[in-house]
Amino acid sequence: MKLTELKNIFHKELDAQYGSEEVSSFFFMLTEHHFGISRLSLALDNSLQISKEEETTLYLALSRLNNHEPIQYIIGQTHFFGLDFQVNQHTLIPRPETEDLVQWIIDDHQSLEQEISILDIGTGSGCIAISLAKNIQKAAVSAIDIDELTIDQAAENAQRNNVQVSFIKTDILGLDALVESYDIIVSNPPYVREQEKELMQKNVLQFEPDKALFVSDDDPLIFYKKIAELAFNSLSTNGKLYFEINEYLSEETKEVCEAAGFIKVTVKNDIFGKPRMIKAIRV
């Protein structure tokens, strides 16, 4: 079968659900990932043929897309901050707004000449820790997650991107104190309240790990309270705590940081103009 014929089938099956432009993007991501055939190659030669086995591979992907599964899980990878990351059902798919958080940290520390220590709490795919290790030359980076399979995936991503990150499996809520002292602590913890589930996309609810996304309506800032407390007691003088936050709870999260002892607390908007980040300085 010609690839262009199968591309037309993708559009017929998926356009109503995703829109034509996104379906085209999906199709080219799949052909590039599975067969090394780029969008340009197909544009230059619309007579390109694929084997029955390759055809089956694309039909399976089509079925998964019809079932709302994220394309990142189908191909098993995604891009974040110019780097490639493997993702699976144990890891949250990195979001573009989290790149803003990473950029903020890099902008604050890229010109430093001395070595700094960084801890990423709730690392998931490792996207924050690995991006910081890649872009802050004298950073010694560690990362924590509660799930062993998630840690395994993050460690593979660190190796894939040629950076050194020390990964630690632990439950942050069960800690009384952090063992080491750090110059920077960063976290993108679960922060979506149960009441906000109706605002989420269907494929997120169906496929991405609940434990990485949702918190109880009764105590939605549970992770922020714990991490702010631990951070205040383990950050060096003038050390910084960075959070990605729930846009609907920005003031409440700022108050959590202040209650933990932080004096200089700044809320920052993301690329969409929403209050989604906090920096708290320990003075």
Residues 174, 233, single domain; the answer is yes
Query: What b/e readout covers 231-251, taking b as 16+ CB neighbours within 10 angstroms?
Result: bbebbeeebbbbbbbbbbbbe
Q: How confident is the model at residue 200 (pLDDT cuts 50, 70, 90)?
A: confident
pTM: 0.93
- Identify the domain boundary among 33, 67, 101: 67
Q: Is 255 in the same domain as 126?
A: yes
Answer yes or no: is 244 within a domain: yes
The mean pLDDT of the chain is 95
The reported pLDDT for the residue numbered 119 is: 99
The helix-helix angle for 52-66 and 20-35 (nearest 10°) equals 140
pLDDT in tens, 17-68: 999 999 999 999 999 999 999 889 888 888 899 999 999 999 999 999 999 9
**pLDDT for the residue 129:** 99
In a domain, 80, yes or no: no
Place 185 in a pLDDT band, splitting at 50, 70 and 90: very high
The domain that holds 105 is classified in CATH as 3.40.50.150
Q: pLDDT tens digits for 71-92?
A: 999 999 999 999 999 999 999 9
Three-point CA angle 231, 100, 97, nearest 5°: 100
At residue 255, the pLDDT reads 98
User: Domain range spanning residue 35?
Assistant: 3-67
Distance CA 243, CA 189 (A): 8
Range 100-116 average pLDDT: 91
Question: What region, left, alpha or beta, does residue 164 occupy, with left being phi > 0 and alpha being psi -120 to 50 degrees?
Answer: beta
Question: Cβ contacts of residue 245 below 8 Å, gap of 6+?
Answer: 191, 224, 253, 267, 275, 276, 277, 278
Pair (213, 268) in one structural domain? yes
218 and 98 housed in the same domain: yes
- Per-residue pLDDT, averaged over 187-209, amounts to 90
What pLDDT sits at residue 159? Answer: 98
Residue 54 lies in a domain: yes
Q: Is the pLDDT of residue 111 over 90?
A: no
Q: Which whole number is the average pLDDT over 122-143? A: 97
CA angle 29, 31, 32 (to 5 degrees): 65
Q: Are residues 38 and 138 in the same domain?
A: no
Residues 48 and 117 in one domain: no
Q: Which of 67, 99, 119 is the endpoint of a domain?
A: 67
| Tokens representing residue 25 in the block | 């993007």
Residue 187: pLDDT band with limits 50, 70, 90: very high
Provide the pLDDT for residue 198: 83
Answer yes or no: do 194 and 135 share one domain: yes
